């Protein structure tokens, strides 16, 4: 009944400890700042600005996210399909409130979003919904053929008018291209890692050293 539904949150996820939020935000800002200055980026600027002449300041372009997290299940207070089942999963109950360490293995930028890819461990995959990738199929047709956990990400920023749900879809799109065998264009070895361009404004920085982020598995209501 409606009373029960009230206890299901907007979403479950891993929430970054405040100490690491700052570090991740700084790394992402540094990356955007550097990307902005690269000739290769300027060459493809039209993907972002819509007009060749227009300059883009990436730090202004993306609206920063207040509370960094990696969504496991979007429940919409029980209205989303499978949310009641998810809330009752033994692993969800067992690990609720527990601390984990997430590995942020890449940063990616598209004209819509900027985010960090999260590489989940076997244990962390116990909290991952079976249909997270499949649910993306209407937007990313190849999504269902990608491994479980492929969608795991931290949204770092969204362009004006873009909802954060887009970040995971943008990541899936890049991973689908990789799986199809598209190597992308290796643009530069940066201090942070190697930068690859996948066309249509899609950039991926594979981090030389993944960022280890202490997180708490919990939920968000308001
Ligand atoms: O950045 P995110 O992962 O994208 O974190 C937010 C969070 O839930 C609160 O809005 C994510 N989100 C929103 N709608 C969906 C959806 N339909 N499927 C999966 N995640 C979603 C959003």
Closest protein CA for atom 14 of ligand 1: 165
User: What ipTM, to 2 d.p.?
Assistant: 0.99
Q: Is the pLDDT of residue 49 over 70?
A: yes
pLDDT digits (tens, 9 = 90+) for 63-92: 988 899 999 999 999 999 999 999 999 999
Find the mean pLDDT for residues 105-121.
98
**How far, in Å, from the CA of 213 to the mean position of ligand 1?**
20
Question: What pLDDT is recorded for position 51?
Answer: 60
Q: Which residue lies with its CA nearest to atom 18 of ligand 1?
A: 74
22 is catalytic: no
Task: Confirm or reject: Cβ of 82 under 6 Å from ligand 1.
Answer: no
- Active site annotation includes 69: yes
Closest residue by Cα to atom 15, ligand 1, is 165
pTM above 0.90, yes or no: yes
Q: What is the 3-state secondary structure (H, E, C) of the chain?
A: CHHHHCCCCCEEEEEECHHHHHHHHHHHHHHHHHHHHCHHHHHCCHHHHCCCCCCCCHHHHEEECCCCEEEEEECHHHCCCCHHHHHHCHHHHHHCCCEEEEEEEEEEECCCEEEEEEECCHHHHCCCCCCCCHHHCCCCHHHHHCCCCCCCEEEEEEECCCCCHHHHHHHHHHHHHHHCCCCCEEEEECCCEEEEECCCCCEEEEEEEEEEEEEEEEEECC
**pLDDT at 179 exceeding the cut of 60:** yes
């Amino acid at each position: 009944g409606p009373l029960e539904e009230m206890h299901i949150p907007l979403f479950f996820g891993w929430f970054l400890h405040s100490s690491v939020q700052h570090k991740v935000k700084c790394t992402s800002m540094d990356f955007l700042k550097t990307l902005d200055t690269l000739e290769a980026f300027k060459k493809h600027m039209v993907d972002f600005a819509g007009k060749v002449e227009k300059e883009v300041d990436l730090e202004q372009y993306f609206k920063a996210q207040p509370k960094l997290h990696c969504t496991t299940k979007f429940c919409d207070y029980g209205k989303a399909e499978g949310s009641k089942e998810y809330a009752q999963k033994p692993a969800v109950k067992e690990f609720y409130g527990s601390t984990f360490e997430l590995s942020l293995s890449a940063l990616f930028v598209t004209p819509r979003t900027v985010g960090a890819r999260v590489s989940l461990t076997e244990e962390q995959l116990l909290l991952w919904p079976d249909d997270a990738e499949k649910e993306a199929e209407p937007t990313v047709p190849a999504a269902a053929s990608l491994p479980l956990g492929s969608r795991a990400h931290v949204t770092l920023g969204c362009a004006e008018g873009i909802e954060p749900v887009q970040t995971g879809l943008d990541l899936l799109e890049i991973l689908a291209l990789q799986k199809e065998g598209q190597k992308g264009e290796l643009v530069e070895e940066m201090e942070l890692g190697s930068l690859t361009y996948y066309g249509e404004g899609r950039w991926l920085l594979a981090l030389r050293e993944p960022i280890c982020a202490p997180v708490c598995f919990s939920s968000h209501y308001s």
